[in-house]
Structure 1
């Protein structure tokens, strides 16, 4: 089942259907004529930290059971190597789990553009005035998207495939234009 609307027909949130459509972002309108677009860009993880802990527990149990079997039959060097192996795998999985929740959050509201970069336990937050923000590739095709203005710079798009980063940049530009006075059907 499909439905079509004519250009300029009101959408579900009371805006004309000619408003921008976002692939990466989510547009919303709230009370008191508040408009915003949010982008949540996250790492694509195959295992959640809880699943990773379960996997590691099973691996430890299996490896130590095999090492114990050989220990019982006189192969005394198997157990120390099993422990070294489990410690090395545990360190690698810990490094993976620490960055499993890394993300980039970009929020554009009427009066500011906020970018939050979470990497491990460190969170960096940068705020811009939308009318002064420049959106450009950092080095060329497929590179990160750089947001700059008011003496600050931040690179985003780490969790977007390189061939889709230009689309993210265009989406950010479109939203910034849309947030300007008169850019939202004269809503200001």
Structure 2
């Protein structure tokens, strides 16, 4: 996952995005090449009388198409944390769902907790009974670095 911190005139912004190894064109090419190879092999087997191979090849391609579409729908996901002089803003996008939370930096408290029975930590920002998890797109090391940097900057704000 990528985490980018940017210092602006108004404050500081952190943006986390998932890594994507294939572009839209790359995903289409992958599907077309796989469909061609799998379809060719299935057709060759069906010519020799093993026609039941065709539906299985179709199901395989359907699952590949679904996985690539799901990957494409999550390509624009992000988490953006903006800390300005009087406001802490957290924006997240997961698929079509976009959320925005605002906190007063003075009252916001950062917690880096490990729930029982889980192997990864959660990075939480809490204030006035409201709780938002940040860093869910990050690795453990990146979460720790973000927590340290946020703690320093929240104290300075």
**TM-score normalised by structure 1 residue count:** 0.72
Q: Identify which of 31, 40, 51 aligns with 1:56.
A: 31
- Equivalent position SS for 1:130: coil
Aligned to 2:94: 119
Unaligned 5+ runs, structure 1:
1-22, 30-34, 180-188
- Structure 1 SS opposite 2:91: strand
1:155 is the counterpart of 2:133 = yes
Give the unaligned 5+ runs of structure 2: none
- Alignment-derived partner of residue 8 in structure 2: 28
Contact 1:113/1:127 (CA < 8 Å) preserved in 2? yes
Q: Does 1:137 align with 2:117?
A: no
In the alignment, which residue of structure 1 is the partner of 2:152? Answer: 174
- Distance between the aligned counterparts of 2:120 and 2:53, measured in 1? 48
Q: Name the larger-Rg structure.
A: 1
- 1:128–1:150 CA contact under 8 A, matched in 2: no
Using the alignment, how far apart are the partners of 2:98 and 2:29 within structure 1?
28
C-alpha distance in 1, partners of 2:134/2:155? 19
TM-score by length of 2: 0.85
CA distance in 1, matches of 2:43, 2:75: 33
Q: CA deviation at 1:24?
A: 4.4
Give the match for residue 52 of structure 2. Answer: 77
Matches of 1:130 and 1:28, distance apart in 2: 17
CA distances 1:120-158 after superposition (whole Å, capped 9, x unpaired): 111111111111111111337951211111321101112
Q: Which runs of 4+ in 1 moved over 3 A?
A: none
Q: Higher strand proportion, which one? A: 2
1:166 deviation in Å? 2.1
The aligned residue for residue 14 of structure 1 is none
Cα deviation per residue 1:51-71 (whole Å; 9 max; x = unaligned)?
222211211122112222222
CA displacement at 1:47 relative to structure 2: 1.9
Bigger shift: 163-172 or 69-78? Answer: 69-78
Number of aligned positions between the proteins: 152
